[in-house]
Structure formats: structure tokens, C-alpha cells
Structure 1
């Protein structure tokens, strides 16, 4: 027989065998009508049950529904999710640390996590990932923090909690409660808003009460302060107390905190919120007055510095253009240092605190609150690091000794000069950046201001910046970077007429 004919017959036989095998396989194991979502396998199953990781795969790893089989493998169920063996071991190992208690010992309060004292050295961190890919929870870990705080359900997502857990951070999970004003169209004197909010809150608690990163629930932030009517204030307080009771029924393992604006809401907490476990106080710029008021009211609950930092913009003098003066990095660091030392001194009355702020909030200015700027660490960051860890910073940022603008009132598009003097403690190489931002005031949104396109030119060693092309008041920023991941900043205002 011709050799070529033999080869063709062989190929034909192999093809028949393959087609027949495929037909038999599909008779025994038919293509599934619906594809398997790996997490769907774990609904109603106990932790540790076997599952198949990956999405859009049948149990034999075949392509399903026109989608590729991604990341298929064996895993285990954990809290309704299918995770890898390695992730399951990590989650199961720390899952027992979800029990949080407050005890009073020799007239001092102690926060216990899994039976062990836990003093909060925290950072307020509203987003875990920045607009440019910054990992703010990693920055919190490197700061020496052991906990972070969010303000709203939209911030404390599963991804946030999982990332915090990966870095060994506990989370004060915030639940935003709107303040009652006519502009807000929210009232606590009727049930419509309250019923909707209660469902939202309790669903969130139910979803994450067993997550090992959760430290406590933060229900409300300064909303009594921002509510105008006294009747509404009282109704709001009673609603928060109602939520606290409901949360305790669902989750007896985590305390509930309400955060007051400084000390001004303490009398409402004492009178109308008996079910709250912890008094939060947002402390600017000193703890001593807040502590004194807390003590004079004979509060029967410990407090946490739910936020703390340098003076807020309403506590600062205004410049000739009507904007609040923003302190230098070194001046801000003095306030952080003083408050942390006061917090340590009064430990036992307080359970610790959360420095404000780590991330990229743009309230008042692009740099007012943040102890970092994007990936870079500022002088306050390293002062806090030293106080949280007891370690000396490996490298300090540059310091801006002064910054002046040649003019503060300008025409649209006009150029002005900036001059300054900087120094670096270690003599590191430096580079500079100049920016202009909007100047909206507001503390009830995370993102308030933004940078504008800024044209800069240098002539004979003199730096010139172009004013914006629209009328208004703006801030002009100088950023000074070293080559060790640090930055310094300072700003001055201009008016474009």
C-alpha cells in the first residue's frame, strides 16, 4: 500500500477516535446550562467546605458561556467566598480575633481584642487606593499604625477590609449619617429617611460583622453639630442610639462609637445615646480642653480621638485675600506631637486615636490635612512614626524656610515670580514642583478642591508662574522632593481680577 495512503488512513482513524471520545464525554458530562461563579458555590456552606476557585468554569475546567476559564483551582469556602488554600489559612488563623471588648480596670478603661489589650495608634484613611495607584493602607502600616478609620459605608468595602487585614490593620468601620437641614432634605422627625438608613446600616453590619479586620463600628460623624434645629438634634441622637441597640443585637462582638466635633456634642451623647459604647472626639488642636469637658460631664464611657491634628481652617487667621493661613509642615508636626503625647498621658481615659489624615482629601486645600502627598511622606508623617514606633526616622524630608510671591493680586494670565529657601537635613538632592489649585472650603466631602493646569517658566534662575485665566482666589504651591520618598510643601494665596 502506498505510504501516503497509510498516513491518511492513520489520520482518519485518530480523528474518528477523538470525535467519538468527545461525543462519549459530553454524553456522560454534558455542558452545563449555567456557568459556575466560584462564590456561588459557597452560599450556605460552612467555612472550610471545598470549592473550585475561578469564574466561568464548569467543574471540569471547560470553557463555559463563551468565557475563558480563569484561575481555576481547588479552594475552601470562607464567609461565603471561595478562596485559595493559602488565603483560607491566613483568614482562618486570624478570624478568632473578632471579639472586641471594653473593660474597666482600676478606674481605667482598656480595649481588648481577643482578650489582649489593644491601644489604638491609628490613622484616618478614607480610601485605600489613590487616584494614581497609591497604597494608603501600606503607608499606614509603614507609619506604625495598628488601626485605620473610615467614615462611610462606601469607603469600608470588602477590598478595603481585606487589604487592611493583609497588612495587619484593624478598621474602625464608619457609617455616615446625614445631618438634618432643609438644604439636605433630611429629617429625623419622620420615618422615611430613618427606615431607609436603618436597612442600609444593618445590611452592612450583617455583611461584615465576621470580617476579622473589623475593630468597631463608627456610627455618625459630627452630624449633631451640623444639624440646625434642636428638635432635629434630639431626634437624630435617639435614632443613633436606636441603631446602636440594633447593631448590638446583630453583632455583640464589636463596640459602637459616635464621633463628636471636639467636645461640643458630649452633652447630647450623655443624655440621648446611652447605647453607644465609645465616645469619639475629633480633636483640633489640643486634647486637654476636650478631656476636661469629658471629665466635667462625668461621662461613663471611654473616649477615642476619632480624629486629631493641627488647627482647622476656622481656627486659623485669614490672609489679605480672605483665605486661612495654612501652617508649614514643621508647624503642623508640633501639633501632632503635642496631641499624641497628651493622648499617651491620658491613656486609660482614652483608648487611643486616629491621626488625621492619611490619603488624598482636598478639604480646604490640596495639602491641609494629609500627612503625605501621594506616595511621598511629609514631616508630620515621620514625627508620628517616631511616636507610634519609638524608632528614629531613617530620613527626614526637606524643610521650606520661607516662600514669597512677587504679587498676590494679578490679572488673568499674568506671570508672577516665586522665591524661596529650602534645606534638607541630610543634604539630599532636591527637585521642585509648582502648582495652583482652587480654594473651596468644605469639610463634608472628601474631594473638594483640584489642581489647575499650571504654566511655569524659568528665566535667568528666576521661576515665573502664570496666573489662571479665570477670576477668583487660588492657592499657589511649592513642592520640594528629595530622592528618599519625602516631600515638603507650602502655599500662598493669589487673587485674579
Structure 2
């Protein structure tokens, strides 16, 4: 099951304005090809080699963002919703030869996703109509932009609906929206996005007008996905609309109850293996139309460190994995490799508690080492996502450190971070029982 999307790209739908767009509209189609399908742009075959996009600092950075991503072998971006930034992104994408799977946000059916919003699809007829009209306004606004590849309706709404009647009500509404979008814009396919294959039975039964499925999938389960689609009754092509390492929601927890984050080597390998070995045969067979790796963002937070391609200005292993997957180019110099992060004991020093930490990293060049923590059990979402730097001193022996722990209640995730001279940041994680707040 996929994680809720970041808020960085704004989910607020804005008033439609007809804007002049440069260039000529690109028409996209999904056509039958033997026993499968193929995606075409202006009659030419197209496979989406994509990333989900939150950006690194707003519209002023979009030009540089798109230029960098193009150099990585990326040809397509995916967003979750539209907003005032969308025009700037589409313009930057077009300038650099990228296309965009434009997200059209539909409200989740229960709290837990964006802004803890929740909408009753079974009873709120006025709200349904408002969402429909807002969605069509965005389609009219952007449909003639040459960077638009397709429309992606909703994100994990079926997953985040409280019961079967709510899921059915949403699916019936979704069919109405799909038909209206296709009538408004016959030139671009429409898909809907949900977690794993949970949406497939509902789409097949209630949303026949969809052109393709959008599936959010994480971890090595990508190899089992094609058969899972078949068993769920899927009869249409699909995109992997989010992908990366195994997520927090499905990993085992350690003895302190902290989810055990995959190592950086696994995060790297799963992306390259997923594209080359799990999806390449499905692309060849005409079932998979493309991939979007999660996520292009500079956020230095819990999700950014776990799944992101960048952390601040530093490059995480996923950055290089995307390039190797799409171009075959390996990182040079080789990335540092965390070998061990281990808390070897706690000591009191006045009112402070210090952890004696062993942090070993194999690297060809000197490293800038730091430590940080995350309190995943904190009461608010903002606190649960925050990653905070910790004071640290070198220990008595090489590879050891004294790290001052925060005064928080409960177990925390401890990060060992190592940055090389090329701007690559690697991380290792463990947990420790922090001292209680005074």
C-alpha cells in the first residue's frame, strides 16, 4: 500500500483561467497492439520513464529541476493536483522535452491523507458536483498545453475510503468524472490512481470509461504485480504511478516498535531491478506503459530520507538509481556504503544523555558525518515527519561518536548521515530509547 502524497504540490483547485500556451498541443493515445497496448504521442511510441514531482523550491527552480531530470533519463513527471504553480511546471517541462501526467485531485474518503481531509461520496451530492466542476475547470485550463501527457484522477481514494459502500459511491462518481473529462478533452487519456490492485475490481465494475490504471507499488512486490492485476480482473494497461523501496506501512518493527527502514543499498537496487527486471517484460508485452519513481523533492524529512531522490541539495541513492535504471549509467565516484550504525551505551552528563555510537561507512573520499533523529510517535503530523539534527562529538576511537539525545518521550529513530565531496548523502538508521522529557 502506498503512502499518502506530499503536500508540496498543492491540492487546492483554483479558478479556471484560459491561458495562452506556447507550441502545439500534443495528442496522446493508448492503442491496442496485438494482445497488449502501446502509448503514443502524436502517433509515435512513448514509454513513460518518470518520477513523481514536488520540486526543489517552487516555480523559480522548475527550469533547473526539469533540466536536471532530463539529464537523468527522465522523460515524464507526475503531479497529484493542480494549482497556481502548474503553468510554470508545464512550461519548464515543455522547454526541456518532458511531459506531465497531470494529477486532478479528488478528496479522500477518510482522514489520514492530505490535510486530514475526508469526504462523504455517498451522501454529499453538492460536494460531488463541486469537485466535478472544479476538475473540469482544470482540464479546460491545461488541456491544450503541449507538455500534458495524460490526466491522473485521484490518489488512493479507494484505499482511503472507510467501507464498501463508500468505495462503490466513489467509483460511481469517478465514472461520471472520467466521462466528463474525456468529453472536455478527447486528446489525452484518463487514468485513476490507487494502491496496489485495490482499485482494479471497482474500476472494472463501475468505471468502464478509464483508459488505464495507475498503480502505486513499493518494494520487491513489483515482481508479483502483473499476476495480481490479472487475478483482480484487470483488463486494461497500467502505469506504475508511485514506486520505491518498501514503505514504512509494510516493514517489520524492531524491539522498540520503530519500523525498520531498508538500507540505502536495497533502496537503490529495488529501483534498478524494478525497472529492468520486473517491468521491462511488461512494457515489451504491452501491459505496462511506464513508471514513476517517488519522489523528486528536496525535503529533509522522514519521507524524504526514506524515499526521496534528494535531501536538501544532497543526492540520495535513489537519485543515482533512477539514472542507472533509465540510462544504464552508474554513479561515479561510487557511493559511500554505510556498514554499521550501533548504539553501544548511554551516559548521563549533567542534565544531558549521550549515546555512544559506532557509525562505520566505506568511502573513497573523506566524509562529513552528522546525526539526526525522528520521533515517529509524536502527537502531530508535523512532528512525526520532522528530522532534527543532533549535537555530536567524535569518540575515543575511529568510527565512534558521542551523540546528545533529545529529551523526548519514547523511542526515536536515530540517523547516521555521511556526505561525500561529490554531494552524495547516505544514511543508516537504528532506534534508541530517548530520555523522558523533564
Tell me if TM exceeds 0.5: yes
RMSD: 2.9
CA 1:450–1:224 in structure 2 vs 1: closer, same or farther (change >3 Å)?
same
CA 1:167–1:416 in structure 2 vs 1: closer, same or farther (change >3 Å)?
same
Mapped to 1, the partners of 2:382 and 2:72 lie a distance apart of 22
Rg comparison, structure with higher value: 1
Q: TM-score, normalised by structure 2?
A: 0.84
Indicate if the aligned counterparts of 1:122 and 1:147 stay in contact, CA closer than 8 A: yes
What runs of 5+ residues in structure 1 fail to find an aligned partner?
1-42, 45-78, 82-90
Question: Which residue of the other structure, out of 184, 202, 213, is the alignment partner of 2:136?
Answer: 202
Mapped to 2, the partners of 1:243 and 1:328 lie a distance apart of 41
Mapped to 2, the partners of 1:448 and 1:336 lie a distance apart of 26
The answer to whether residue 339 in structure 2 is matched with residue 401 in structure 1 is yes
- In the TM superposition, residue 298 of structure 1 has moved relative to its aligned partner by 4.5
- In the TM superposition, residue 184 of structure 1 has moved relative to its aligned partner by 4.4
Alignment of 1:31-50 (within 5 A): none
Q: TM-score, normalised by structure 1?
A: 0.75
Alignment of 1:81-480 (within 5 A): 91-92=22-23, 95-96=24-25, 98-127=26-55, 129=57, 136-154=65-83, 157-181=86-110, 184-189=117-122, 190-285=124-219, 286-340=221-275, 341-347=277-283, 348-360=286-298, 365-407=303-345, 413-424=352-363, 427-439=364-376, 449-458=385-394, 460=396, 462-480=400-418
- In the TM superposition, residue 448 of structure 1 has moved relative to its aligned partner by 5.7
Q: Which residue of 1 aligns with 2:419?
A: 481
Task: Give the secondary-structure state (helix, strand or coil) at the position aligned to 1:353.
Answer: strand
Mapped to 1, the partners of 2:426 and 2:161 lie a distance apart of 37
Mapped to 2, the partners of 1:421 and 1:367 lie a distance apart of 19
Mapped to 1, the partners of 2:59 and 2:346 lie a distance apart of 31
CA 1:394–1:366 in structure 2 vs 1: closer, same or farther (change >3 Å)?
closer
Indicate if the aligned counterparts of 2:307 and 2:318 stay in contact, CA closer than 8 A: no
Mapped to 2, the partners of 1:211 and 1:472 lie a distance apart of 51
- In the TM superposition, residue 407 of structure 1 has moved relative to its aligned partner by 3.9
Runs of 4+ aligned residues of structure 1 deviating over 6 Å after TM superposition are 130-134, 408-412
Cα-to-partner distance string for 1:80-126 (whole Å, 9 max, x where unaligned): 37xxxxxxxxx32xx24x20001111222110011111101111112
Mapped to 1, the partners of 2:38 and 2:382 lie a distance apart of 32
Greater RCO (CA < 8 Å, at least 6 residues apart): 2
Indicate if the aligned counterparts of 2:223 and 2:278 stay in contact, CA closer than 8 A: yes
Cα-to-partner distance string for 1:164-190 (whole Å, 9 max, x where unaligned): 222221111112212223884511123
CA 1:261–1:362 in structure 2 vs 1: closer, same or farther (change >3 Å)?
farther
Mapped to 1, the partners of 2:429 and 2:306 lie a distance apart of 10
- In the TM superposition, residue 299 of structure 1 has moved relative to its aligned partner by 2.6
Mapped to 2, the partners of 1:115 and 1:453 lie a distance apart of 51
Indicate if the aligned counterparts of 1:363 and 1:369 stay in contact, CA closer than 8 A: no
Q: Which residue of 2 aligns with 1:21?
A: none
Indicate if the aligned counterparts of 1:455 and 1:465 stay in contact, CA closer than 8 A: yes
CA 1:448–1:178 in structure 2 vs 1: closer, same or farther (change >3 Å)?
farther
Question: Which residue of the other structure, out of 3, 11, 20, is the alignment partner of 1:80?
Answer: 20
Mapped to 2, the partners of 1:123 and 1:451 lie a distance apart of 24
Indicate if the aligned counterparts of 1:128 and 1:137 stay in contact, CA closer than 8 A: no
Mapped to 2, the partners of 1:333 and 1:321 lie a distance apart of 26
Mapped to 1, the partners of 2:348 and 2:244 lie a distance apart of 33
Task: Give the secondary-structure state (helix, strand or coil) at the position aligned to 2:92.
Answer: helix
Q: Which residue of 2 aligns with 1:4?
A: none
